[in-house]
Structure 1
């Protein structure tokens, strides 16, 4: 291959039009070669703004869309996401493709195409780890702590009340997302992994110099508003594995948050959020002490105005 490889993003999105456009505008500004946007519900305003852009393929996932794919609309949003990502993988002409969500923003220390050019030819995919937004409102994120002998001790030192129950000190995922090398046979996406012929591919190598700024819970109101959905069928849904064995008192996030709510109501949930999100000044101070703070000004509104003027 001559020159740097091409890369793209596939996302199945729903929500306010400005949020969708901010997500797209940010990555256009980052230099993405193509964005494949699947609107999970009809949104004429978003479709109108995106349709016709030379770097954007936009689809409305209505009844006709799923009928054209010769399948019923999957009930679980995760299945819809992975179906759209796998379909895109099979039909793209780009060199690399990643599936990320609308609250995830890639942050590289150099052009992503340069990062991908350095990936060994024998790797089918590389992983990008998340950093998670704090509730400080200051473009601050907490760093990913690699798994090792000292991770649990550090997490429980920073978050003394709830750290033992929250994997890696993150409200959401630690696994990150995958950049998949295209052109491989029988590939399908999962949310955090790749399958080939139905079997997991070993995508353990990480892409140096690239983070995912995950804005899972940028403030209390946002987190509380999304909590019922996440408890029912999202990232805190029943059936997830606990952080520590149940024999040692472990609970998954669904069990933990349900118990907090039952015993202490909204005040208890607020205490949990303030600690794990870093809104508590003492927690914020400990994050700073241990070198866990990252400043990542995304400048979303400026990029929205640049790429979609008049849409705010």
Structure 2
């Protein structure tokens, strides 16, 4: 709007006092429904421009001024105003196009970076990098009423829920996992239960792995198929471990612990209870942390 006012003021500055009075007269008579005589009686060129922009808007104010200037035979001023206005619009559009193009490039760069970022996952440390598509195992979600969804976390409750499913289930593919999180506003049970039922259209719960998907996970997770077979055989010997592997993150914990133990052929110390599994997992994490600190200390010593 500011550049339009500058153009209009510049055009009126090309008029002498008598010509400005004629401009006011034609403006009042032609557009009397918008501007009254009293409004222009003591108006200078700046007041005139302000009133025209308020009454007509920036673009129409230019058209009105060009029309009046032509009626006054001020064709040079009219053509100059049209030319400058068109040039200013073109430059403005170019700036907008450049800004849009820059924004689009920024979006594409961000999209590429995000794709690279989620293409690989790190399990514990960057040394354990794995491609998401290579290790991803389809899991199931359940959609239905809130009372149909399992609200417990104990092993027996999980086992019972798996055996007596009443709600509709569908698999979540690797490529669809971010479309599902957007479509279904995911919340923890404790938070979801606080929402009044009348405001809940559909309740979705990530149910985790079926028995078949548990085995698929370990098969994909381990490059050594004999090792994955030994892990699968072991968790089947412990009912509690096998049931808990319904939860994907527990499959990761189990794979981390058992891979470490079985790789060293230390089967006499293999975890058989949930408590032992968690303790071994914490020990592995502590060992990783200590190793990281040792490497950092070595780097500091070398740098000094």
TM-score, shorter chain, exceeding 0.5 = no
Whichever structure has more helix as a proportion of its residues is: 2
Q: 1 or 2, which has the higher strand percentage?
A: 1
Q: Which has the higher contact order (CA 8 A, sep 6+)?
A: 1
Question: Larger radius of gyration, structure 1 or 2?
Answer: 2
